[in-house]
Amino acid sequence: MIRLRVFRAIDELESCQKFVDGHMRILKAFGITMITSANVDWFSDPYTYVIAAESTDDNRILGGARVQIARGTLPLPIEKAVVELDEHIHEVITQYSAEGTGELCGLWNSREIAGMGIGSTYLTRVAVAIAPALKLKSLFALCAAYTVEMAQKAGFEIATFIGNNGTFYYPKEDLTATGVVLLDSANLILADPDEKAEIISLRQNPKQTKTEMGRRGPFELIYDLDIKNLPA
């Protein structure tokens, strides 16, 4: 069984290292060796929170994502990723940070859980569910082409005000990424109604076990979204 759990990075450095090791194995398998999400500066950032997909059998981290809050301590990965293509990205993030913004980044899943939707659907769902608790009105992300639709279901829209109408060559020249932004995490005006209902359910009941559906069929997923040490 898989558990999705959220923790502040600085509180669990050993888990952070397991997260990075797993993520780097996947990136190398795809021939990607230089990527902003792969650095470990965030290990010491009190405003980075990790969503870990863990095996309940042995607590191995089989996938995950990060939510990094823009609080001036570290630039968001999207800033470092696209600044050479769009020098205004820092101004954009500064503007949105006045009301609370951050980035959903570093999404990955191991081959062991591929096809379950954890690396796209369920990690995105959790990130949006916890955004208000992290005092984030908005949330940015860089999506591969195949994850844009899932992000839109969760309420994101293409950030046409950055890059080339929201698109960039990233993380290497033959791959295109799309910048997306969730503008109102509380109300989720653009979210698919069914997905919005799932997100609201997690906000109301952050600890629950549900039967979810992936390409490989139904599976049990434990949500453990009680977060210790929320941002002040």
Average confidence (pLDDT) over 20-41: 69
Query: Quick one: pLDDT band at residue 174, thresholds 50, 70, 90?
Result: low
Average confidence (pLDDT) over 50-71: 95
Tell me which residue range forms the domain holding 184: 2-224
| Residue 98 is assigned to a structural domain of this protein | yes
Total tally of structural domains belonging to the chain: 1
User: HEC profile for the chain?
Assistant: CEEEEEEEHHHCHHHHHHHHHHHHHHHHHCCCCCCHHHCCHHHHCCCEEEEEEEECCCCCEEEEEEEEECCCCCCCHHHHHHCCCCCCHHHHHHHHHCCCCEEEEEEEECHHHCCCCHHHHHHHHHHHHHCHHHCCCCEEEEEEHHHHHHHHHCCCEECCCCCECCEEECCCCCCEEEEEEECCCCCCCCCCHHHHHHHHHHHHCCEEEEEEEECCEEEEEEEECCCCCCCC
| Residue 229 is assigned to a structural domain of this protein | no
Average confidence (pLDDT) over 146-174: 87
pLDDT, position 34: 55
Q: Which of 23-37, 57-71, 98-112, 162-176 has the lowest mean pLDDT?
A: 23-37
| pLDDT tens per residue, range 31-45 | 665 555 557 899 999
Query: Quick one: pLDDT band at residue 150, thresholds 50, 70, 90?
Result: very high
Q: What is the pTM of this model?
A: 0.92
* CATH code of the domain in which 179 resides: 3.40.630.30
| Residue 232 is assigned to a structural domain of this protein | no
